[in-house]
Amino acid sequence: MSLPLEGLSAIVTGAGRGLGRAEALELGQLGAAVVVNDYGRTGRDGSGNASGAPAQQVAAEIRAAGGTAVAHTGDVADHQEARELVHLAVAEFGKLDILVNNAGILRDRMVFSMSEDEWDSVIRVHLKGHFNTTHFAAAHWRERSKAAGAPVYGRIVNTSSEAFLAGSAGQPNYAAAKGGIVGLTTSTALALAKYGVTANVICPRARTRMTEDVFAGLEKPEAGPDPLAPEHVAPLVGYLASPAAAQVNGQLLVVHGGMVAIVERPRVAAKFDTKQDAFTYDELDALLTPHYADRPSGETFAAVEVLGLKHE
């Protein structure tokens, strides 16, 4: 029986643990050859002995299950190391077909308490990291498409967050980075469509090392599957990376706990036209103040309701 990703190669960033690990294992199970990227940390076994970088461990898991995988321990937020990551995939597997951007960090703090470094480091890893790998993968696909005189196969799956959609008060750096990733994704989707490449973005909710403080109050159930297990997210990544998702492009999907929700793009809620040559303060006051007076108190552009989505 053929596998949906058989003959395709993939990169998964931040894949040493958590969501990235589950996604890399899923792609490998579906037949893809995988470059498992995770920034060069060293893991420890149960006895506290060094056991290799997490990326190497996950690559070994994929190979042990009969798949093909290699590890890369570079920093995707470093432009040159991101270039080397894409070049590694091409050198090992002949081409790159799938890019899953997952790598990230948290430095949570209220905006009035956040340091410059806490802001810069989160923007660097999440947003610049997504850009770096996307840049080099896009150049690879464009060159291949021009050489072939036809579209090629390319899939990008980026990782945003409900923190962007809902406006998480204690995560201004993270929410800003994740909002930027959505903009990067929709721009990339339009730019690369003619080359045969799709770009989509997911907002996953999962219990990982990075989010252990976020979900500290939500204990794992004593019986049954954990609704916050990363394994709930991985199948959607596998689908978006597959030929079946050829018509899915520039989309945002929320996924967790046995549920996938497609988020609609923003729509214009109201429009006002000046009755003069240009708006004045008084005219805007007469139009906008009554409009907002009738809106629910505390309502903003943030879609807080997404936090209430759950599997029924």
Q: In sequence order, what are the residues at sequence separation of 6 or more whose Cβ sits closer than 8 angstroms to the Cβ of residue 277?
A: none
**Per-residue b/e over 232-255, b at no fewer than 16 CB within 10 Å?**
bbbbbbbbbbbeebeebbbbbbbb
Backbone angles phi, psi at 194, to 5 degrees: -70, -15
CA distance 201 to 262: 11
Question: Which residue out of 9, 145, 160, 161 is catalytically annotated?
Answer: 161
Ramachandran region of residue 31, left (φ > 0), alpha (ψ -120 to 50) or beta? left
131/139 Cα distance (integer angstroms): 12
Q: Of 9, 145, 168, 174, which is the active-site residue?
A: 174
Distance, CA of 228 to CA of 204 (rounded, Å):
9
CA 5 vs CA 1, 2, 99, 150, 215: distances in Å? 12, 9, 13, 21, 33
CB 70 within 8 A of CB 58: no
The span from the CA of 147 to the CA of 30, in Å, is 28
| Catalytic (active site) residue 178 | yes
d(CA 62, CA 55): 11
User: Among residues 9, 153, 178, 195, which one is catalytic?
Assistant: 178
Give catalytic status of residue 161 as yes or no: yes
Catalytic residues: 161, 174, 178
